[in-house]
A and B are shown apart, each in its own frame.
Chain A
Amino acid sequence: MTVRLSLPDLLAKAKVIRRHIVMSTTAAASGHPTSSMSATDIVTALYFGGVMRYDAKNPTAPGRDKFILSKGHAAPLLYAILAEAGYFSTDMLPTLRKIGSPLEGHPNYRRLPGVEASTGSLGQGLSIGVGAALAAKLDNFDARTYVLTGDGEVAEGQIWEAVMSAAKYRLDNLVCIVDQNGFQQTGATTDVLDLRPLVPKFEAFGWFAQEINGHDVNEILIAFDKAKHIKGKPSAIVCRTVKGYPIHQMLASDPNHHGKPLTKDEAVQAYAIIG
Chain B
Amino acid sequence: MKLGKATREAFGLALAQLGETNPDIVVVDGDVGNSTRTELFGKKFPTRFFNVGIAESNLVSVAAGLASSGKRAWLASFAAFVMCNAYDQLRMSVAFPCLDVKVVGTHAGISIGEDGPSQMGIEDVGLACSLPNFTVIVPADEPSTFRAIEALNKMHTPAYLRAGRPNVPIVYEGDFEFQIGKANQLRAGSDLTIIAYGLMIGPALQAAEELAKTGVQARVLDMHTIKPLDHAAVLAAAKETGRIVVAEEHLLHGGLGSAVAMSVVRQHPVPMRFVGINDTFAESGKPDELLAKYGLTAADIVKAAKAF
Interface residues of A (CB under 8 A from B): 62, 66, 108-110, 116-121, 123-124, 127-136, 138-139, 157-158, 161-162, 164-165, 168-169
Contacts and interface: CB of A to CB of B under 8 A. Distances in A.
B93 A127 contact: yes
Given A161-B55, A165-B52, A165-B55, A128 B47 contact: no
Contacts of B58: 127, 130, 158, 161-162, 165
Contacts of A139: 70
A173 to B, nearest CB: 11
Contacts of A136: 69
A140 to B, nearest CB: 11
B156 to A, nearest CB: 13
A274 B98 CA distance: 39
B26 A138 contact: yes
B65 A127 contact: yes
Main secondary structure of the interface of B (DSSP, over half): helix
Contact of B89 (A62, A109, A158, A168): A158
A131 B55 contact: no
Contacts of A124: 57, 61, 88-89, 92-93
Interface of B: 26, 47-48, 50, 52-53, 55, 57-58, 60-71, 73, 88-89, 91-93, 96-98
Main secondary structure of the interface of A (DSSP, over half): helix
A128 B58 CA distance: 8
Contact of B71 (A108, A116, A127, A135): A135
Given A109-B97, A128-B61, A138 B47 contact: yes
Contacts of B55: 158, 161, 164-165
Contacts of B60: 127
A123 B47 CA distance: 27
16 contacts: A109-B68, A117-B65, A120-B92, A124-B88, A127-B64, A129-B65, A130-B58, A131-B64, A131-B69, A132-B66, A134-B26, A136-B69, A138-B71, A162-B58, A165-B50, A165-B53
A150 to B, nearest CB: 16
